[in-house]
């Protein structure tokens, strides 16, 4: 049992909690878990005045943020809501959020939404620490999409030049996570999840097996969720699959390594304003096909296992069946930019995979 002394696990079907590692104090999951989980996490983490960080659409078009505000107000821990985080977390939004965070005297952030508000919250806390020189303050993440940004210690945001950049520190990983499927009911169906750890370097075998299980669940439950968007139990299973696809990984060792599909998504998304879920739908299937050709023999064995788990449902077919097919022309990405995008993704035109990545991107245009 060595190494499990600080592990806590409570579960009943699709509701429960789990705590592991010094940074992450708890993952609480289950439909309706917000009301009980948020007070518990505030007590465990120690926040007394919280700023909610979210996006404009979620704030104005749903009651999700209002529900989080109500829980905080009951505990007299509500410091305000900042709802100006746009897609890909522009740095201007982060600086605005930092000012609000400081002005209201908040000591914790509650992020609500997808990868953009969760990463923006990490960046706000990063810049706050850089400014004060003190300890990193904490975030509790309440995701409403399947981005899995809540399980990483890196924050991706868009700088003034329109490029995606990354800041990272193990202390930036959210201290608490709440997976309440009820809060996902307003999430647009086109948001989809990628599971890139299957070809990610340095990921140990047990976690790759978790990825297999996550992938199988995604292929089973994403179509079910599309067919019945109000099925909360299906959405809860998808949130748990998102968790399984990326965590637990030691953040200082595994962050950002070798994720070609993810890197291409960053280069395309920030520059051409394409949602990250859509870039994953565009690039993941051809990336897996490329890795099947150029990966090490060990990684090829893992990829063959993917085919076993997916049976006759390749990634491209899932994207098509979910109605998420698109191409780079639809998003007005000039074909003449392909060499530059490929170079940014692999680091240099001298990289041996550069010609193949160029070919991959060219395949994302209509024939």
Over residues 2-31, the pLDDT tens digits come to: 333 344 545 555 787 766 656 889 999 999
Where are the CATH 3.40.50.1970 domain residues in the chain? 22-184
- Stretch 205-215: mean pLDDT, rounded? 79
Burial class (CB in 10 A: 0-12, 13-18, 19+), 109: buried
Q: How far apart are CA 30 and CA 178, in angstroms?
A: 8
What's the pLDDT tens digit per position in 163-174?
888 898 989 999
CATH 1.20.1090.10 domain residues, the chain? 196-363
Q: Predicted confidence band at 245 (pLDDT cuts at 50, 70, 90)?
A: confident
Contacts of 65 (CB under 8 A, 6+ apart): 52, 54, 58, 59, 81, 83, 112
- d(CA 11, CA 47) in angstroms, rounded, equals 25
Sign of the dihedral defined by the CA atoms of residues 270, 274, 277, 283, in that order = negative
pTM of this structure: 0.84
Give per-residue pLDDT as tens, 96-146: 999 999 999 999 999 999 999 999 999 999 999 999 999 999 999 999 998
- What pLDDT is stored for residue 257 in this prediction? 43
Q: The domain 196-363 belongs to what CATH superfamily?
A: Dehydroquinate synthase-like - alpha domain (1.20.1090.10)
Average pLDDT on 286-301 reads 79
d(CA 365, CA 264): 15
Say which residue, 204 or 252, is predicted with more confidence: 204
317 vs 195: which has the higher pLDDT: 317
Per-residue confidence (pLDDT) for residue 306, from 0 to 100: 66
Domain 22-184 has what CATH class? alpha beta
Predicted pLDDT at 309: 55
């Amino acid at each position: 049992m060595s190494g499990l002394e600080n592990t806590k696990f409570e579960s009943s079907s699709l509701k429960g909690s789990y705590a592991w590692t010094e940074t992450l104090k708890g993952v609480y999951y289950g439909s309706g878990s917000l009301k009980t989980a948020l007070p518990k996490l505030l007590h465990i983490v120690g926040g007394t005045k919280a700023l909610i960080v979210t996006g404009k659409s979620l704030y104005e078009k749903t009651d999700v943020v209002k529900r989080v505000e109500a829980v905080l107000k009951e505990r007299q821990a509500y410091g305000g809501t900042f709802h100006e985080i746009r897609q890909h977390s522009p740095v201007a939004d982060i600086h605005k959020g930092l000012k609000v965070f400081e002005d209201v005297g908040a000591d914790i952030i509650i992020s609500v939404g997808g990868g953009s508000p969760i990463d923006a919250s990490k960046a706000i806390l990063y810049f706050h620490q850089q400014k004060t020189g003190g300890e990193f303050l904490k975030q509790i993440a309440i995701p409403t999409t399947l981005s899995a940004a809540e399980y990483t210690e890196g924050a991706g945001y868009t700088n003034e030049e329109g490029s995606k950049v990354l800041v990272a520190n193990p202390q930036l990983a959210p201290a608490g996570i709440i997976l309440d499927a009820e809060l996902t009911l307003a999430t647009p169906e086109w948001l989809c999840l990628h599971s890139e750890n299957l070809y990610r370097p340095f990921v140990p075998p047990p976690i790759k097996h978790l990825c297999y299980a996550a992938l199988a669940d995604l292929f089973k439950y994403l179509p079910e969720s599309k067919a019945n968007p109000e099925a909360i139990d299906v959405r809860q299973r998808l949130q748990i699959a998102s968790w399984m696809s990326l965590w637990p990984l030691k953040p200082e060792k595994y962050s950002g390594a070798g994720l070609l599909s993810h890197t291409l998504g960053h280069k395309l998304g920030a520059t051409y304003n394409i949602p990250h879920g859509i870039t994953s739908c565009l690039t993941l299937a051809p990336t897996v096909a490329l890795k099947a050709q150029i990966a090490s023999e060990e990684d090829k064995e893992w990829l063959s296992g993917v085919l076993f788990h997916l049976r006759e449902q390749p990634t491209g077919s899932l994207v098509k069946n979910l109605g998420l097919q698109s191409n780079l022309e639809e998003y007005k990405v000039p074909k003449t930019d392909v060499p530059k995008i490929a170079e940014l993704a692999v680091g240099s035109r001298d990289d041996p995979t550069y010609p193949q990545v160029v070919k991959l991107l060219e395949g994302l245009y209509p024939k």
